[in-house]
Structure 1
Amino acid sequence: MEREVLAGGGEAMAKLEYKAAAAAAAAGKQISLVRLIFSCMVAGGVQYGWALQLSLLTPYVQTLGLSHTLSSLIWLCGPVAGFVVQPCVGLWSDRCRSRFGRRRPFILVGCIFICFAVIVIAFSSDIGYKLGDTKEDCSIYHGPRWRAAIVYVAGFWLLDLSNNTVQGPTRALMADLSVTGTHGCSKANAIFASWMAIGNILGYSSGASGKWHEWFPFLSNRACCEACANLKGAFLVAVVFLLLSVLVTSIAGREEVAPSTVEERVGIMEIFRTIKNLPPKMPYILLVTSLTWLSWFPFNLYDTDWMGREIFHGDPKGTPAQMKAYDNGVRAGALGLLINSVVLGVTSILIEPLCRKFTTRIVWVMCNFCMFICMAATAIISSWSVHSYHGSIHDAIISPDGSVKAVALVVFAVLGAPLAVLYSVPFAVTAQLAANEGGGQGLCTGVLNISIVIPQVVIALGAGPWDGIFKKGNMPAFAVASVFAFVCGIVGLFVLPRLSTKNFKASAMSSLH
């Protein structure tokens, strides 16, 4: 009983301290909309690199020797890192009393490591060449390059760790600033989603261009041919944009933090003990978020590979014609993701009025049913493409059916709308619950990320073997994704809390009094 009383007292103290810090910040200067927008610019910088990671890296790693089945396993680090890193960094940033603020130190350090990881990935072929991979010219040798693959995987995992270090504090910073201002959590998360859309547009444009080896010919060498040089150029530009964006965020995202009145230990076990103080409605948000990402992650993992294999009928390890067709398909997939990001940006502006009219629950459920239709369509389009193709592996030129390609790009475009909801609504609802209950924006955002990374682990471990069982490329993973999306829509209709964004601002501000 004594332990329960102490635990209850600790929980109450944590909530009171969070509200005291928020009240002290609210007493400061109200943030303008322009400053709120630029405070989140780092999200665009991080998303630029993330877009390149999604569109180019799964196809690229297959050229280094990893099979299509094994390529999904390298994505395991992101979920594992997110499971541990985001809750830890979230709570540490909640209780950080640096003179530079609570969130910005973590954002800055994470961005520095992102830049280092991106450079390692970009030059993995060159490093592998120096470490003793084949000395043959890359235009002739198409076999495995294991040293380059090891360097690539190390850089990839460091990139995921760094991304998780930045994303949680950035979300929490936006929640902090919106609570202290007059704009509300919903608008702040819409701004965040818009910056992600901008980052996606820039990143997918870079991935789709395929001209970096021409603009920067010095990036090509014996170890790094056209596709590799394009990867280098795109990632080096991503580093420049990220450094610019983190500088703007550091200047615009000024924080006013109340000093701590209680001496606290913030160890690993303390972090997991603090999770029990989450708002009571959070488990429902976590459940629906997990189911949603179970349907999204197969597409994130294999979207450009799907275009290269099923739509363009290419093979990264096949004949020269097949390799060319695969590269064309990857670039077409990057174009599809670019269109997807434009729709994402436009939809982000419309989310707040839609939630006002229909409530967040209905908007989120509509998002899941839209995903169900699109994911089912990808499996149908794959089957259509395979059955309509009558080419031979000896063809000098392999090209896709024009109608199949057009419909595939339409699916990419339509998926931008539910993606905007997924990038915005769960985080806005979480921010509101944290503001009402005083649970800590950083911790709640970090725990929400756990509901995202667990599905990623499931898909990363299961997608490759699942595809291998049916020998159907990416179609089985997409079919399972459509099932999860449908189930998620049904579950969300019954368990999601009935919240409307018209109450976001009022409830956030009332929690300060």
Structure 2
Amino acid sequence: MDPCRAFLADLSDGNQRKTRKAGSFFAFFTAVGQVLGYAAGSYSKLHRLLPFTSTQACNVYCANLKTCFLISITLLLILTIIALSTVSEDPISRFSEEKKDKAVPFWGELLSALKEFPRSMWFLLLAMSLNSTAWFGFKMYDTDWVGREVYGGVVGGKLYSSGVSAGSLGLMLMAAVAGVTALAVMLVVRGVKGGNRVWGCANLLLAVCLAMTVCITKVAETTRQHTVASGGATAPAAGLKAATLSLFAVMGIAQAITYIIPISLASIFCSSFGGGQGLSLGVLNIAGVIPQLVVSLTSGPWDQLFGGGNLPAFVVGAIAAAANGVFLLALFPSPPRTDHDSSSSSVLKITISAPSH
């Protein structure tokens, strides 16, 4: 996915309007793929398409998983061949001449880019780190949270499996909403003075959603106590299921904006100081991956410190999202307006550029 983003940024050639459109379509087609993937994974008879995947050592769930992998591999090969055969990229002569003059190793080029980064790019890296911290805990444990905290099941039990299935449905709804948002964000949102404000509002929305996981969990626990006292554990009420699925759906809005805005800002900032698109996006990805490593290593012990469960990691994510939202709205610099993009700003009022003074 990340090389695709860098490729789209290079094709946009610093044009903010093209960069935003490329990010929107990237988020849309990513969402389409996720919806199809979740739908295929939830279809219990998928393995019948490839009967050889079902063996004595591999039950229905295992066979479905293998079938999904094989279908994904086939689609990737086909689409990669089509892309390599039909999409052409014109080399930029000035970059070619620079590379002919002196070949710089990757790490040297990376360190050189870090030295040349303006303050706005460092602010973007900090915002990306906070955003990644906010998202990753939920991304790791979303279906487990539904199975354990919402449905009250144990791993391997019937209630837990039902909860995981409900969580998968929620992820599919999240992807669907993200796809719609990716297309609507360029056309519906107007009068926004800078993409950082859109991203900041999305982070505040994410913080509210992560905080709502605590409320949903507490309601589910209270309901289970009454249910057990009445004669046995059952699946949560329809209202609680609807609230959980609605939470996933609303988070799709924040997810789409997260796919679009940071990449657009990185492309704009790197073009303003002459940095390469691919290298700048690579550094941005590193800023997102490092917090993910920290969260994955510390979330387990952190959860155990508070008695187990997934809520401690979600609360940390909510705090990180809220802090990032305030940072983006109050301290983050607005991106510069480019000359070739100013002509289109009157048509598309959602800009990743600052208003002219």
AA at the equivalent of 1:198? V
Structure 2 CA distance for aligned equivalents of residues 185 and 434 of structure 1: 12
Contact preservation (8 Å) 1:368, 1:418: yes
Q: Which residue of 1 aligns with 2:202?
A: 367
Which residue of 2 is the match for residue 102 of structure 1?
Answer: none
User: Which residue in the other structure is 2:103 paired with?
Assistant: 264
Give the Cα separation in 1 of the matches to 2:342 and 2:321: 32
Change (3 A) 1:443 1:504: farther
1:288 pairs with 2:122: no
Secondary structure of the residue aligned to 1:290 is helix
SS of alignment partner, residue 357 of structure 1: coil
Q: Distance in 1 between matches of 2:162 and 2:52?
A: 23
Distance change >3 Å, CA 494–CA 396, structure 1 → 2: closer
Secondary structure, counterpart of 2:186 in structure 1: helix
Instruction: Report whether the alignment pairs 1:383 with 2:222.
Output: no
1:482 is the counterpart of 2:318: yes
2:131–2:203 CA contact under 8 A, matched in 1: yes
AA at the equivalent of 1:191: F
Given that 2:14 and 2:268 are in contact with CA atoms closer than 8 Å, whether structure 1 keeps it comes out as no
Q: Distance in 2 between matches of 1:486 and 1:456?
A: 18
Q: Offset of 1:409 from its aligned partner? A: 0.2
Whether contact under 8 Å (2:16, 2:268) holds in the other structure is no
Counterpart of 1:228 in structure 2 is: 62
Q: Is the 8 A contact 2:10 2:278 kept in 1?
A: no
Deviation at 1:399, TM superposition (A): 2.3
Structure 1: 5+ residue runs without aligned partners? 1-166, 508-513
Contact 2:16–2:338, Cα closer than 8 Å, also in 1 = no
Residue 115 of structure 2, aligned match among 259, 266, 276? 276
Please give the secondary structure, in 1, of the residue aligned with 2:266: helix
8 Å contact from structure 2 (residues 6, 277) kept in 1: yes
For the residues of structure 2 that align with 1:197 and 1:501, how far apart are their CA atoms? 29
Aligned to 1:254, the other structure's residue is in SS state coil
Q: Pick closer, same or farther for the CA change 1:183–1:370 going to 2, 3 Å.
A: closer
CA contact (8 A) 2:224 2:233 kept: no
* Structure 1 partner of 2:248: 412
Gaps of 5+ in 2: 344-357
Greater relative contact order: 1 or 2 (C-alpha under 8 angstroms, separation 6 or more)?
2
What is aligned with 1:431? 267
How many pairs were matched up? 335
> What is the CA-CA distance between 1:356 and the residue it aligns to?
5.4
Query: Could you tell me the percent identity over the aligned residues?
Result: 36
CA offsets 1:444-502 (integer angstroms, 9 cap, x no match): 00011122112201210111111112224111111221111111111111222223888
Letter of the 1:459 counterpart: V
- Please give the alpha-carbon distance, in whole angstroms, between the structure 2 residues aligned to 1:446 and 1:200: 23
Matched letter for residue 297 of structure 1: F
C-alpha distance in 1, partners of 2:303/2:342? Answer: 49
Q: CA deviation at 1:190?
A: 1.1
- CA–CA distance in 1 between the matches of 2:189 and 2:335? 9
Residues 210 and 307 of structure 1: CA distance in aligned 2, closer, same or farther (over 3 Å): farther
**Secondary structure of 2:296's match?**
helix
What is the 5 A alignment of 1:79-228? Answer: 167-179=1-13, 184-213=18-47, 215-228=49-62
C-alpha distance in structure 2 between counterparts of 1:181 and 1:363, whole Å: 19
Q: Match of 1:118?
A: none
**Hey, what does 1:468 align to over in structure 2?**
304
Structure 2: which amino acid aligns with 1:372?
A
Shift of 1:217: 4.6
Q: Does 429-438 or 347-356 show the bigger shift?
A: 347-356
TM-score (norm 1): 0.61
Distance 2:312 2:127 in 1: 23
Alignment CA distance shift 1:423-1:312 (3 Å): same
Q: Distance in 2 between matches of 1:185 and 1:221?
A: 48
How far apart are residue 298 of structure 1 and its match? 0.9
Moved more, 304-313 or 205-214: 205-214
Aligned Cα RMSD in Å?
2.6
Deviation at 1:203, TM superposition (A): 1.6
1:303, 1:333 within 8 Å by CA — same for their partners in 2? yes
| Equivalence for 1:451 | 287
What SS does the corresponding residue of 2:57 show, helix, strand or coil?
A: coil
Deviates more, 1:290-299 or 1:257-266: 257-266
Report deviation, 1:503: 6.7
Tell me by how many angstroms 1:230 deviates. Answer: 2.2
Q: Which residue of 1 aligns with 2:177?
A: 343
Determine the C-alpha separation between the residues in 1 that align with 2:23 and 2:129: 19
1:463 and 1:477 in contact (8 A); partners too: yes
Find the counterpart in structure 2 of residue 402 from structure 1.
238
1:174-202 deviation digits (Å, cap 9, x = unpaired): 01112288952111111111121112111
Is this contact kept in 1: 2:266–2:281, CA < 8 A?
Answer: yes
Alpha-carbon spacing, 1:237–1:302, altered in 2? closer, same or farther (3 Å): same
Is contact 2:40–2:68 with CA below 8 Å preserved after alignment? yes
* Candidates 301, 305, 309, aligned match of 2:140: 301
Could you tell me how far apart the structure 2 residues matched to 1:468 and 1:345 are?
36
Task: Give secondary structure in 2 for the equivalent of 1:422.
Answer: helix
C-alpha displacement of 1:213 = 4.0
Using the TM superposition, give the Cα deviation of residue 419 of structure 1 relative to its aligned residue in structure 2, in angstroms. 0.7
